[in-house]
């Protein structure tokens, strides 16, 4: 019997939190995928900070990107769906994660690596009057504000005082780094009598109480040398505006107050019913598995290993990564779990803010530049390990000799097929095929001429017409709910391009083979996404069809009704009209980069936000402002769709290349040569751009051929309407809407784009 290689998804692992331990799980899944295991990562932060390098960033040594791991490329490498959400409720009885901004997520087993926050959050007044050092991203925003304020106050000859609550390494490192930064900015040379005053208060009788005495002595001396005051045995009981108040009512005033006290976790894991350890963290056994729920794993600061508790530090979270990954895979594949015993002592490298560090482990102590170099190299190696991945290769499975070298090179170049609109059949193949077909000459089909409109138009009684369109795309992100919302907008766009309203739609859904439970959850996520987007567009879902496909797909056949006279079409541009494009370009190259783990989260997030914008309001705006023609920019790129409009009456347009709006990151990825599958076919049109040669090196030139998924509308508008039309589009949230050119000639020898 012949074997067929299929890999249906049958179990769902959800990782909650993008902490240090989960980084290893993701890397492991990328290096050694587990066929049949679907994995989702849900994290509050997608740019996950590496706290060990935070003081270096505060002091100005490292840039923001140097201390963050972008979870997007890592998740792509791991083949893991990525969802940005803050979870605060899990129904362990039904194995369902309750989400705030999207449908709930079902799982078979989960792992929690959600980190910790300083326990001072519980002190009255902390939320209003002080700032926690974690979550780090929130803290960094506050630090920017504080440092700017401190600098401007000192520049205008006032003093500035900062109070840091907590006696551990995080407090000390932050104090030294903050001082370094402000002194450097203001060129303050002496520590004594500095106008930037720092005080550390701690409830303990010593700083760094878990470290050896030589470390403690060195730190105490160094803080004193740098005029950083330390007040011990001061337990803050309350924060008021500008004051920390101790248990015996002593007050400590400051312009800003920061707390970096011992770790704690929020109450929701306990409220969900998970066993908690005496110190208030998720209680796990030596398999890193919850002692109350065998399908829940936990690691890092948020967990305490029942028989082997350790201080809350990144080193232990890192060390738990590999055993956690191994046990999650063993659990998934019904293998015996392996016990893990954390090391007794960990090496701590404390950054002294001036390119020196202290090394501390049990009784070991050394300090100086060598310790700092050691820290710098360990930290940068760690960050690199989760930010650089092997190149992705696609293998062409075609028997040797079946094709010539040219065809092989051609196919190999684009063997990694894009999804979304980057996976459309090329325009030239489509045209050739359509030419083979018999023409319809029914009088009531108004769109049957040589010109292809965005939707078919069927005449009804009087002036009324029915519009019909169909579109279907392959999932370009592995989040069915988000994909369906975007795909729905994409499919509705053909109706809006014609200036009509969508009335109803039928869905065509393709879901890959999986266990019944996973098919049900994928299908429900898809359809809930579709329903949500249709509701926003006041369009009803009236039917559909589903089938099993090799990849997730979604499409809609859409009906719209309109008055025939009110329709927009691709024909109709007049001399002097201006061209307005409503959305920035670049989705093709960005998602091609995403597939290759080369796109930043911020780029993709920004592109997704734009793709979620329906073209409905832009369409209404164009109708209101007397647009003379309109289309939507999708798979054939701006140039391809514009040429479709120009061909109708041999029109010439002048287009200002520098004005064409680009999505953030799109020019970077194009410059790296990352293009989507359809780009090359689209770019054949470059030869028809009148003066293309002068612009070939301009990265924006390539953008003209980039296939768009859920792209914007392109319309020509009479010049006298242009300014108001653009203002209106901006007010509707289409911040990137731009005038990109104007119509210079109608009935020219050939249709042409002239670049300026």
Ligand X SMILES: Cc1cc2nc3c(=O)[nH]c(=O)nc-3n(C[C@H](O)[C@H](O)[C@H](O)COP(=O)(O)OP(=O)(O)OC[C@H]3O[C@@H](n4cnc5c(N)ncnc54)[C@H](O)[C@@H]3O)c2cc1C
> Which residues belong to the active site?
421
Among 86, 426, 605, 744, binds ligand X (CB under 6 A): 86
Kindly state the smallest distance separating residue 734's Cβ from ligand X, in Å: 31
Give the interface segment with ligand X, choosing from 16-24, 405-413, 441-449, 482-490 (CB under 6 A).
16-24
Kindly state the smallest distance separating residue 260's Cβ from ligand X, in Å: 6
Give the interface segment with ligand X, choosing from 312-320, 365-373, 450-458, 735-743 (CB under 6 A).
312-320
Q: Does 208 bind ligand X (CB under 6 A)?
A: no
SS3 at position 123: coil
Looking at the Cβ atoms of 167 and 300, the one nearer to ligand X is 300
Kindly state the smallest distance separating residue 125's Cβ from ligand X, in Å: 21
Among 28, 59, 113, 179, binds ligand X (CB under 6 A): 113
Q: How far apart are CA 34 and CA 163, in angstroms?
A: 50
Among 37, 42, 465, 617, binds ligand X (CB under 6 A): 42
Looking at the Cβ atoms of 105 and 492, the one nearer to ligand X is 105
DSSP 605-658: HHHHHHHTS-SHHHHHHHHHTT-SEEEE--TTHHHHHHHHHHHTTT-EEEE-GG
Kindly state the smallest distance separating residue 88's Cβ from ligand X, in Å: 6
Q: How far apart are CA 417 and CA 92, in angstroms?
A: 39
Identify the helix (H) or strand (E) that includes residue 38.
strand 37-43
What is the spatial order of strands in the sheet that 652-655 belongs to?
A: 629-632, 713-717, 578-581, 738-745, 652-655, 752-755
Bridge partners (DSSP) of residue 70 are 47
Q: Does 301 bind ligand X (CB under 6 A)?
A: yes
Q: How far apart are CA 590 and CA 574, in angstroms?
A: 34
Kindly state the smallest distance separating residue 65's Cβ from ligand X, in Å: 16
Kindly state the smallest distance separating residue 303's Cβ from ligand X, in Å: 8
Kindly state the smallest distance separating residue 137's Cβ from ligand X, in Å: 8
Q: Does 43 bind ligand X (CB under 6 A)?
A: yes
SS3 at position 99: coil
Nearest to 565 by CA among 455, 497, 464: 464
The interface mask with ligand X, positions 576-605, x = CB under 6 A, is ------------------------------
Q: Which residues contact 73 (CB under 8 A, 6 or more apart)?
A: 387, 389, 597, 598, 599, 600
The interface mask with ligand X, positions 261-300, x = CB under 6 A, is ---------------------------------------x
Kindly state the smallest distance separating residue 75's Cβ from ligand X, in Å: 12
CA distances from 644 to 284, 342, 528, 626, 704 (A): 63, 65, 35, 20, 14
Burial of 553 (0-12, 13-18, 19+ CB in 10 A): buried
Q: Does 426 bind ligand X (CB under 6 A)?
A: no
Q: How far apart are CA 554 and CA 488, in angstroms?
A: 8
Looking at the Cβ atoms of 260 and 359, the one nearer to ligand X is 260
CA distances from 188 to 56, 178, 505, 715 (A): 19, 13, 68, 58
Beta strand 303-305 pairing with 282-284: parallel
The interface mask with ligand X, positions 60-79, x = CB under 6 A, is --------------------
Nearest to 324 by CA among 112, 473, 151: 112
Q: How far apart are CA 296 and CA 292, in angstroms?
A: 8
Q: Does 165 bind ligand X (CB under 6 A)?
A: no
Looking at the Cβ atoms of 51 and 180, the one nearer to ligand X is 51
Q: Does 503 bind ligand X (CB under 6 A)?
A: no
Looking at the Cβ atoms of 360 and 582, the one nearer to ligand X is 360
Q: Does 644 bind ligand X (CB under 6 A)?
A: no
Among 39, 40, 51, 606, binds ligand X (CB under 6 A): 51
Q: Which residues contact 535 (CB under 8 A, 6 or more apart)?
A: none
DSSP 733-751: T-TT-EEEEEEEESS-SS-
Kindly state the smallest distance separating residue 673's Cβ from ligand X, in Å: 32
Chain centroid to CA 234: how far? 42
**In the window 316-345, what residues touch ligand X (CB under 6 A)?**
317
623: left (phi over 0), alpha (psi -120 to 50) or beta: alpha
Kindly state the smallest distance separating residue 688's Cβ from ligand X, in Å: 49
Q: How far apart are CA 63 and CA 57, in angstroms?
A: 6
For residues 108 and 98, the answer to whether their CB atoms sit within 8 Å is no
Name the token pair of 663.
Answer: 């999505």
Among 11, 12, 14, 20, binds ligand X (CB under 6 A): 20
Among 9, 13, 15, 19, binds ligand X (CB under 6 A): 19
Bridge partners (DSSP) of residue 739 are 580
For residues 729 and 587, the answer to whether their CB atoms sit within 8 Å is no
For residues 27 and 74, the answer to whether their CB atoms sit within 8 Å is yes
Q: Does 517 bind ligand X (CB under 6 A)?
A: no
Give the interface segment with ligand X, choosing from 10-18, 366-374, 542-550, 574-582 (CB under 6 A).
10-18
**Binding-site size, ligand X (CB under 6 A):** 35
Give the interface segment with ligand X, choosing from 107-115, 156-164, 439-447, 512-520 (CB under 6 A).
107-115
Kindly state the smallest distance separating residue 23's Cβ from ligand X, in Å: 8
Q: Does 90 bind ligand X (CB under 6 A)?
A: no
In the block, tokens 């932050």 appear at: 174
Give the interface segment with ligand X, choosing from 11-19, 209-217, 534-542, 705-713 (CB under 6 A).
11-19
Looking at the Cβ atoms of 268 and 690, the one nearer to ligand X is 268
Looking at the Cβ atoms of 105 and 455, the one nearer to ligand X is 105
Give the interface segment with ligand X, choosing from 1-9, 81-89, 214-222, 226-234 (CB under 6 A).
81-89
Kindly state the smallest distance separating residue 608's Cβ from ligand X, in Å: 19
Neighbours of 536 (CB within 10 A): 15
Nearest to 324 by CA among 82, 9, 26, 50: 26
Bridge partners (DSSP) of residue 231 are 201
Looking at the Cβ atoms of 601 and 641, the one nearer to ligand X is 601
SS3 at position 733: coil
Bridge partners (DSSP) of residue 13 are 39, 109
Kindly state the smallest distance separating residue 256's Cβ from ligand X, in Å: 16
Among 12, 15, 17, 40, binds ligand X (CB under 6 A): 17
Among 174, 218, 281, 340, binds ligand X (CB under 6 A): 174
SS3 at position 578: strand
Among 15, 26, 29, 54, binds ligand X (CB under 6 A): 54
Name the token pair of 431.
Answer: 């045209």
Cis peptide before 517 (omega within 30 of 0): no
Among 133, 556, 604, 663, binds ligand X (CB under 6 A): 133
Looking at the Cβ atoms of 44 and 417, the one nearer to ligand X is 44
Q: Does 166 bind ligand X (CB under 6 A)?
A: no
Q: Does 21 bind ligand X (CB under 6 A)?
A: yes
Q: Does 134 bind ligand X (CB under 6 A)?
A: yes
Among 67, 75, 315, 689, binds ligand X (CB under 6 A): 315
Identify the helix (H) or strand (E) that includes residue 175.
helix 169-186
Would you tell me which residues interact with ligand X (CB under 6 A)?
16-21, 42-45, 48, 51-52, 54-55, 86-88, 113-115, 133-134, 170, 173-174, 260, 300-302, 312-315, 317
């Amino acid at each position: 019997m012949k074997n067929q290689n299929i890999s249906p998804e049958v179990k769902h692992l959800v990782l909650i939190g993008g902490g240090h331990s989960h980084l290893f799980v993701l890397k492991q899944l990328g290096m050694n995928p587990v066929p049949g295991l679907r994995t989702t990562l849900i994290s509050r932060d997608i740019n996950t900070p590496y706290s060990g390098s935070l003081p270096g960033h505060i002091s100005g040594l490292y840039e923001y990107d140097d201390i963050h791991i972008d979870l997007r490329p890592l998740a792509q490498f791991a083949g893991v769906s990525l969802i940005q959400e803050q979870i605060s409720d899990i129904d362990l009885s039904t194995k369902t994660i309750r989400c705030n901004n999207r449908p709930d997520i079902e799982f078979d087993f989960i792992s929690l690596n959600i980190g910790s926050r300083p326990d001072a959050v519980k002190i009255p007044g902390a939320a209003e009057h002080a700032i926690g050092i974690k979550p780090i991203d929130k803290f960094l925003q506050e630090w920017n504000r504080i440092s700017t304020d401190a600098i401007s106050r000192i520049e205008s000859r006032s003093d500035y005082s900062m109070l840091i609550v907590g006696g551990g390494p995080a407090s000390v490192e932050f104090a030294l780094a903050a001082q370094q930064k402000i002194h450097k900015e203001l060129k303050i040379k002496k520590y004594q009598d500095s106008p930037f005053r720092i005080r550390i208060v701690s409830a303990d009788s010593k700083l760094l109480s878990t470290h050896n005495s030589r470390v403690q002595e060195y730190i105490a001396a160094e803080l004193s040398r740098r005029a950083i005051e330390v007040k011990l045995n001061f337990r803050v009981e309350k924060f008021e505006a500008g004051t920390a108040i101790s248990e015996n009512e002593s007050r400590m005033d400051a312009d800003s107050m920061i707390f970096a006290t011992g770790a704690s976790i929020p109450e929701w894991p306990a409220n969900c019913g998970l066993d908690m350890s005496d110190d208030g963290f998720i209680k796990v056994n030596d398999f890193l598995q919850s002692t109350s729920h065998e399908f829940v794993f936990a690691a890092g600061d948020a967990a305490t290993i029942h028989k082997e508790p350790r201080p809350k530090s990144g080193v232990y979270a890192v060390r738990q990564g590999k055993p956690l990954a191994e046990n999650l895979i063993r659990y998934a594949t019904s293998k015996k779990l392996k016990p893990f015993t954390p090391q007794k002592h960990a090496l701590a490298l404390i950054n002294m803010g001036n390119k020196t560090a202290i090394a501390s482990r049990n009784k070991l102590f050394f300090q100086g530049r060598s310790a700092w170099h050691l820290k710098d190299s360990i930290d940068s190696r760690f960050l690199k390990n989760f930010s650089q991945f092997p190149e992705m290769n696609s293998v062409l499975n075609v028997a040797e000799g079946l094709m010539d070298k040219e065809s092989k090179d051609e196919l190999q170049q684009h063997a990694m097929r894009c999804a979304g609109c980057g996976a459309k059949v090329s325009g030239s193949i489509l045209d050739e095929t359509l030419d083979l077909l018999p023409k319809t000459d029914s009088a009531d089909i108004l769109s049957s001429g040589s010109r292809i409109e965005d939707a078919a138009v069927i005449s009804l009684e009087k002036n009324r017409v029915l519009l019909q369109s169909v579109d279907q795309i392959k999932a370009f992100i592995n989040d069915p709910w988000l994909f369906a919302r975007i795909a729905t907008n994409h499919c509705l766009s053909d109706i809006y391009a014609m200036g009509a309203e969508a009335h109803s739609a039928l869905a065509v859904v393709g879901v890959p083979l999986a266990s019944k439970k996973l098919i049900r959850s994928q299908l429900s996520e898809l359809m809930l996404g579709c329903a949500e987007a249709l509701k926003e567009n006041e369009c009803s879902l009236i039917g559909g069809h589903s089938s099993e496909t090799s990849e997730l797909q979604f499409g809609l056949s859409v009906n719209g009704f309109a008055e025939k006279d009110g329709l927009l079409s691709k024909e109709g541009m007049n001399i002097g009209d201006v061209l307005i494009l409503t959305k920035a370009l670049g989705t093709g190259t960005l998602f091609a980069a995403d597939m290759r783990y080369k796109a930043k989260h911020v780029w993709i997030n920004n592109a997704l936000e734009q793709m979620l914008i329906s073209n409905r309001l832009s369409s209404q705006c164009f109708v209101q402002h007397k647009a003379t023609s309109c289309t939507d920019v999708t798979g054939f790129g701006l140039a391809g769709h514009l040429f479709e409009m120009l061909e109708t009456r041999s029109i010439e347009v002048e287009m200002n290349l520098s004005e064409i709006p680009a999505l953030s990151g799109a020019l970077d990825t194009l410059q790296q040569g990352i293009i989507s599958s359809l780009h090359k076919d689209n770019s054949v049109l470059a030869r028809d751009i009148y003066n293309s040669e002068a612009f070939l090196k301009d990265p924006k030139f390539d953008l003209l051929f980039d296939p768009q998924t859920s792209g914007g509308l392109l319309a020509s508008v009479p010049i006298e309407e242009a300014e108001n039309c653009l203002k209106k589009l901006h007010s509707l949230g289409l911040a990137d809407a731009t005038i990109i050119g104007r119509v210079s000639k109608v009935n020219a020898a050939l249709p042409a784009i002239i670049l300026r």
